[in-house]
Structures are given as structure tokens and as C-alpha cells.
Chains A and B, each alone.
Chain A
Amino acid sequence: MFNICANPSSLEGTIWLICYLTTAKHFAFYFSFIVVLMLLILAAPLSLLFGFAASTAVRSSVWFVRICAKAYINMVRGIPDVVFFLFVPLALDQLFELIRHKTLCSDVVEPIWRGTDFMVCSAAKLPLSTADLWVHQLYSFILALIAFAIVFGAFAGNVLTGAMKAVPKDQTDTAAAYGFTQKQIFWRILVPQMWVYAIPGLSNLWMILIKATPLLFLLGVEDIVYWARELGGSKTSLYAYPHPDWRVYYFAGLLIFYLSMTWVSEKILIRLQNNLSHGQATMAGKELQGDI
């Protein structure tokens, strides 16, 4: 990057380190931090949406919808999230390719599952084998994002179902007495009031989500774990910047990154909690006003 870095073997000390940390590969490493943040920013609202849909479905009057929604929000209690992260992207990928295969190459009659192979015609491949590398990267990122949304949607569904139950029954009864329809009660009484009960659970969920992001590594995305292993591995003198096995330092860096992320989040969430409790007829609200 810098002119002085043109001949790495002649460098020493701090300058060597600066040049080492500004190689193209290191910029890919720094970019992967942005990928992680992108995942966080996109996965949080998506899973909230999934969770909201699920917790609404739990209250449905249709028996089948209710059962499905309950199964969905309870599955995370019995099954490790990492199983979903391995299963969902693979399953979705096959599903998409299967649909494309059926529509794009309907003339091919050979079965798709041949022994131990999953073969679709080349036009149905996702992404196409001719596509650029970044398309492949983007595709696996999107699959990962869907997997995160499904798992954390189930967690959020748990939180929101509990929050809806926590809204005092008097409120909905009063609305019903005033002649509100079920739909109006839901949107005008229940939903606006449930958030204050949901915030502690959702804050917790945000912390879990932060700590789940390194699992991107398992999903074939070139994330921070991938680059830490790649860059930290010992480099022989064939490389421009030879060094012994430095992976432990790279992972120490990642540890610090995550610790500071959770530390900052914790501070912000406590402040948010205090703001929301302000003026509420709860213990926290009264403590804030100095009544207790």
C-alpha cells in the first residue's frame, strides 16, 4: 500500500509491522469484520419479523397453524443452533437448485440424486459456475442470513409470545368491552404494549446473536475466523512477510473484538431499558423516580 513497503524483506521493526498489516489480504480480513456487522444488522430485524409472525401464529384460531408455530418456536429448545446452521443452507441450496432444474431443464430425464451425487443441469446451478467469485460469496452469505433468521426468529418468537402474555388482561378486556374487534385489540392494544415486556428478552437475544456470528465460518463464508486462520498460519520465506504460527494472536484479537462488542451493547441496552422503564408502573420505573 505504501511506497516504503515495496521491498518487504528489507524492512524491520515497526515499519515491517505496518506494512504487514496493510497488505491486500489484511484488507480482506478487515472487510470481513464489516461482513459480520452486516450480518448482525440484517439478521436482527429479519429474525424479529420471523419471531413476530410466529408469535402471532401461536394465537391463531386455526389449529394447524397454531401447532406449526408452536413447533417452530420450541424447536430451538431441543436442537443445537449449529445443527440448523449446517442443515438450512445446504437444504435451501438443494431446494433452489431443484426448483430451477425443474423449470429450466425440464427436458433432462435423468434422476437428480444419483447414488451419492446431487446433479442438476448446469443451467440450474446456483450461482452459475461462470459467475464471479463475489457472486458465490454473496450467495453463501444470503443462505447464512436465512439460517440465522430462522434460528433467531424462533428465539424471538419465544420472547414475543411471553411478552404478549405479559400484557395485563384488563387492557384487552377493556378494549373488548368498548367493542374493539379482535384485530383492533391485537394491533392497537396488545402490540404497542408488549414491547416493554419484550425488551429484556430481546436484549439478551441480541447478545446471543453477536456471539453466534463466528458460526458464519461453518457456512462457507470467508469471515473473520476464516481469515484469522488463513493469515495467522505460519508463513515460510516463500511469502513476502514470513512469520511463525501467529494464529493465537489473531484469535486473541477476535476475542477482544467480541468482548468490546458485547461490552458496548450492554451499556447501550441498560440505557435503553432505563429509558423505557421511565414512568412505568413497575419496580424499575419507580426506582428511577426515586420512589423506592
Chain B
Amino acid sequence: MSSCWATIQDYGLRSLGIGERILPKSDITFCEQFVLIGSGLIWNIYFGLIAVFFGFWFAIILAIGKNSRSGLYRVPSNSFIFLFRGSPLFIQFFFAYELFVLLPKAGITLDLGFVILSAETRWLTRAWLGGIIVLFCNTSAYSAEIFYGAIRSVPSTEIEAADAYGITGFKKFWRIIWPSMLRLAWPAYTNEAIFLFHATALIFFSGFPAWRQSGDALYYASYFADKTFNPFLPYPIVAGYFIAVTLLIIYLFGRVNHHLNRHLDLKQKSQLKFSINLLR
């Protein structure tokens, strides 16, 4: 047990580059596998959180654009959604990586007058930035389709009532459409969040190299499967971790769903269905 504690100290934050530099090579114990794969999970959670948080807002902008009567907003939104929903995420990662590699190495300097920002383009070829950008665009497109569907199914009576009270413009959106839209979209959006979290496992297998062997949970799992020739331990461990986080997502999103439905009586409440509804 004490040796396992030492393993946690050595490898607990290995995926962030903290701790023992060299990965275990021989006599690999269960504890080492469990700790290192768990350490990799930090990356999956990081990718998932950042992409969902930023993707949520961009998806709403896209959904409003897609719902717009003016082609100026509708066509770009539609094309963006089609591009990222119509092609495999795996290919998107490869394409983006090769694109980022071709960018000039020197970096871009932005002179904003009061402050000079310098962004290094080589960061784009690293998973923590390049991978996030692709994931962000991908989840935005999928969520936008969900939110668009929800906007379309906001009861017309609510909008008519708003018109009757003289509520217009941004206020109409923010006070009337937005709450209903979010409530209607939430069960499907929960599903999207789960699928996105699963998709984070693809990043280190698709062009983006794991720098100094700091990878995600699946990266370490396949490392162990390669080293021990025994897939029956690392892959169930990684599966267990993913199931645990998926249950956490369902719980957290369920709480939000409860909050969004709090004004409705029991009959109208849309329960988060535990059975899967496929969206991708």
C-alpha cells in the first residue's frame, strides 16, 4: 500500500509533466496503471470543460444565425455547421494539425495600441491549444443544431404574448426565447456533452503528438497495452474512469435540468431520459 502511495506521488500529475519523468517500463503494477491512466484523465476533463464552456456560447450565436431571415447570417452559420457536422472529427483533427504545422513558425504579434500581444503559432500544433480549437468548433456545430431545433420549437404563444406586451429585440430573446430554448434543448445538450467528453479521447491519436509522453487517459492505456501485451487491464480501467465521469456529467446536467424546469408543474416537466438518444 505504501508503495502505491509512492506511485501516486510519482505519477499522479505525470500527465502535466510533474513528477517522475520516466514511465514504468517493466514489472508494471496495477497501481501504476490505475494512477497513470487517472492522471491522463486530467487532460480529458480539461479538453471537455474548455470546449463545452466556450462552445456553448458560440453555439447559441450560430443557432441564432441559422434562424435568421437574412442570408448574411444564415449562410455562414449553415456552412459552418455543415462543415463540422458532416465530416469526421478524426479527420478534422488531422487536417487542423497539418494546417497549423504549415503556419509560419515565427509567431504573430498583435499590436493593439496599448498592449502588444504575441501569440506563438507553434502552440497551435500542441494538443492543449490546437486540439481545443478543433473540439470547440466541433461541439459548437453540434450544439448549434440542437439549439436551433429548440428555438424552432419554442411555443409560438409565448412569442405572441411577448409581442402583445411590446417586448422586442434583445429583451425578447433574453427574457422569452432564451429560457424556453434552454429548457427544451437541455436533454439533447446533455447527450452532446457526454459525446464530446468521449471525443476528447481521440486527440492524442490524431496527429497531435503527446509532448514528453504527457497524454490523456487513453494514451496511457494504450501505452500499457503495448508494453504488457495485456489489453484486459488498462482498457477496462480507462472505461471505468470514463463511465464515472459520464455519470458525473449526467448528475450535474440533471441538476441544471431540474433548475430549468422548476416553474413547471410535474406533468409538463421534461425528465432527463436515461435511455440514450443519438444525436451525432
Is B156 on the interface with A (CB-CB < 8 A)?
Answer: no
Q: Which of B75-103 contact A (CB under 8 A)?
A: 82-83, 85-92, 94-95, 98-99, 101-102
A208 to B194, alpha carbons, bound, how many Å?
15
* Contact B276–A83 (Cβ < 8 Å): no
A263 to B94, alpha carbons, bound, how many Å?
21
A118 to B275, alpha carbons, bound, how many Å?
39
* Contact A255–B242 (Cβ < 8 Å): no
Chain B residue contacts of A204, Cβ below 8 A: 278-280
Q: Which of A76-117 contact B (CB under 8 A)?
A: 76-83, 86-87, 90-91, 94, 113, 115-117
7 additional A-B pairs beyond A248-B101, A258-B86, beta carbons within 8 Å, are A78-B247, A155-B276, A211-B88, A211-B280, A228-B94, A255-B92, A259-B83
* Contact B88–A214 (Cβ < 8 Å): yes
Binds A, one of B56-64, B224-232, B260-268: B224-232
Is B239 on the interface with A (CB-CB < 8 A)?
Answer: yes
Q: Which of B208-262 contact A (CB under 8 A)?
A: 218, 221-222, 225, 227-232, 235, 238-239, 242-243, 246-247
* Contact A116–B91 (Cβ < 8 Å): no
Query: Is chain B's binding surface mostly helix, strand, loop or mixed?
Result: helix
Chain A residue contacts of B225, Cβ below 8 A: 86-87, 90
Closest-CB distance, A110 to chain B (whole angstroms) = 15
Is B199 on the interface with A (CB-CB < 8 A)?
Answer: yes
Closest-CB distance, A81 to chain B (whole angstroms) = 7
Known: A251-B98, A259-B87. A90 touches B228 (CB 8 A): no
* Contact B227–A116 (Cβ < 8 Å): yes
Chain B residue contacts of A173, Cβ below 8 A: none
- Residue of A210, A211, A212 contacting most chain B CB atoms (<10 Å): A211
Interface pairs (27), CB distance under 8 Å:
A75-B239, A76-B276, A77-B246, A78-B246, A79-B198, A79-B243, A80-B198, A82-B202, A82-B218, A87-B231, A90-B231, A94-B231, A113-B230, A116-B228, A116-B229, A158-B275, A161-B275, A210-B88, A211-B89, A211-B280, A213-B88, A214-B88, A218-B205, A225-B94, A248-B98, A248-B102, A251-B91
* Contact A251–B95 (Cβ < 8 Å): yes
Query: Is chain A's binding surface mostly helix, strand, loop or mixed?
Result: helix
- Which of B87, B227, B279 touches A262 (beta carbons < 8 Å)? B87
Chain B residue contacts of A248, Cβ below 8 A: 95, 98-99, 101-102
Is B150 on the interface with A (CB-CB < 8 A)?
Answer: no
A78 to B280, alpha carbons, bound, how many Å?
15
- Residue of B199, B228, B278 contacting most chain A CB atoms (<10 Å): B278
Is A136 on the interface with B (CB-CB < 8 A)?
Answer: no
Is B201 on the interface with A (CB-CB < 8 A)?
Answer: yes
Interface size class, chain A: 35 or more
A168 to B28, alpha carbons, bound, how many Å?
55
Chain B residue contacts of A8, Cβ below 8 A: none
Is B26 on the interface with A (CB-CB < 8 A)?
Answer: yes
**B-facing mask of A251-267, CB < 8 A → 1, else 0?**
11011001100110000
Q: Which of B21-78 contact A (CB under 8 A)?
A: 26, 28
- Residue of A86, A117, A213, A262 contacting most chain B CB atoms (<10 Å): A86
* Contact B201–A80 (Cβ < 8 Å): yes
- Residue of A80, A212, A217, A229 contacting most chain B CB atoms (<10 Å): A80
A254 to B94, alpha carbons, bound, how many Å?
10
Q: Which of A106-163 contact B (CB under 8 A)?
A: 113, 115-118, 155, 158-159, 161-162
